[in-house]
Amino acid sequence: MRILVIGSGIAGLTTALLADQDGHEVTVLTKTDDPLICNSRYAQGGIVYNAPEDKPDLLYNDILNAGSSMTLPAAARLLAEQGPSILKKVLLDTVKVPFARRNGDFALAGEGAHSLKRILYSGDNTGEVIITALLDYIKKYTSVKFKSRRMVLDLITIPHHSADPVSVYDRNFCLGAYVYNFKKNKVKKYFADKVVLATGGIGQVYKHTTNPECATGDGLALAKRAGARIVNMEYTQFHPTTLAFKEAGNFLISEALRGEGAVILNKNGEDFIAKFDKRGSLAPRDIVSRAIQSELSNKRSDYVLLSLTDMEDSFIEKRFPGIFKKCRQYGIDIRHEPIPVVPAFHFSVGGVLTGLNGRTSIANLYAVGEVACTGVHGANRLASTSLLEGVVFAAQAVNDMHAHPGDLRHREKEIKEWDQPSGREQADPVLLNQEWEVLKTIMWNYVGISRRQLLLSRALIRLNGMQEEIDSLYRESRISKKLSEFRNAVTVSRIIADSALKNKSSIGCHYRVD
């Protein structure tokens, strides 16, 4: 069976690895030059495992509490009960990811809203260590094919892309993708019996984000155009601590620092977050982010401070080498000085709706990782569960695909070629960059950490106008990566703003001040 995986983060690579082990023909598409460049790579803190004294019910309850009554109990139960064993099988026993150890055992960290220390980590670059290990293993021991510098423009679905008029009576199903090859400047049809969206996050729709440049919401936009069901997109999680230097590009200051005892203070050295939540700096991310935003607004400050004064110098250098080095570049010695921090967009809690088996509402189309909404995160993600979710639900999806095989080769001949007339000019990249900055500003100011109806309504009016303009430009211009990404980003922004406007309740990381 042919399986096409779109994306090379932890969910996509786990899918590829397990599908190959089941004997399937697997191709991984990535729009970046190197599959190592993905959202998962930038995860600093770690991945949920379990402590010796841990129990599934403890993790289950922590997930539900963080999810603010919106978590799907069955999804949380699956993650809590099967997550550690699937992680062990894939990342520990097979790939052998070199997580940190202490006295021979795995070292475990604590993070906000966890009832105990249960986080596996590797310094402060856990995501990169995991992705590197997965890629090395897959390239050495499997037959998985990687195709880089290729961007999916649209999913191939029947009846939408069929030349057979009778196909209108078919149920909507996916059998591949139209893929743009940057190097050859051509669009090719990639057919598959199962297609897996593993495209990661949406961070580039916001002015301030911890996400890399590749996180433009492509998978969500693809799913939207194909007619898949998308839910919970108003739940956009902002990370409370990123480095407050413009040149640093919202470099993430991991929650793991607070798990090890770091405290957020205002410029007067006051622990102001305790006024909002008794857990203080270890409260859930949405509470901490709003507390910081309030402090910045009330005091007219540009940043707050993250103090590590209760940690030993040697521990700081060993436990957080990447953060230590990055801060030194900006003249901050975190052993003796607090880190200036501000919130930034971090994670999309909602996404393409799937069942516990990874299936979307479109037949033969699966979604895993951040692009998917499994129900695990509810209205607010518990720290370090996203990487585990990627592994667990990738395994679920592969099991389902293997149990329900299919061969769609007989339908390929009816699929239309990509319509790309010659002679079209390329869209002005300067204009695209300007429009993208406008989009980011609208999303940050109107659809940010705290929201109100008037601003959301204005945002949606402007975003609807931008959608009409970019769709027109897309039809009239030559295909390019930047143009396609911007089109996707506008589509995703509209979904977020519309969802936020319709939900008048403050739940989790969706906060309405009105």
Domain termination residue (choose one: 344, 371, 398): 344
pLDDT at 423: 65
Domain termination residue (choose one: 294, 324, 344): 344
Domain termination residue (choose one: 322, 344, 366): 344
Residue 398 lies in a domain: no
pLDDT at 112: 84
Q: Which of 208, 444, 511 is nearest to 344 (CA)?
A: 208
Alpha-carbon span 376 to 398, nearest angstrom: 18
Residue 433 lies in a domain: yes
Residue 314 lies in a domain: yes
What CATH number does residue 312 fall under? Answer: 3.90.700.10
Q: Which residue numbers in the chain have pLDDT < 50?
A: none
What CATH number does residue 466 fall under? Answer: 1.20.58.100
The number of distinct structural domains making up the chain is 2
Residue 147 lies in a domain: no
Range of the structural domain that residue 266 is part of: 244-344
CB atoms within 10 A of CB 442: 23
Residue 410 lies in a domain: no
pLDDT at 205: 98
Query: Would residue 285 show up in a list of annotated catalytic residues for this protein?
Result: yes
Residue 470 lies in a domain: yes
Judge contact between 347 and 233, C-beta under 8 A.
Answer: no
CB atoms within 10 A of CB 269: 11
Residue 296 lies in a domain: yes
Q: Cis peptide before 343, with omega less than 30 degrees from 0?
A: no
Q: Please tell me whether residue 467 adopts helix, strand or coil conformation.
A: helix
Q: Which of 335, 333, 328 is nearest to 309 (CA)?
A: 335
pLDDT at 190: 98
Q: Which of 41, 150, 258, 285 is catalytic?
A: 285
pLDDT at 298: 87
Residue 400 lies in a domain: no
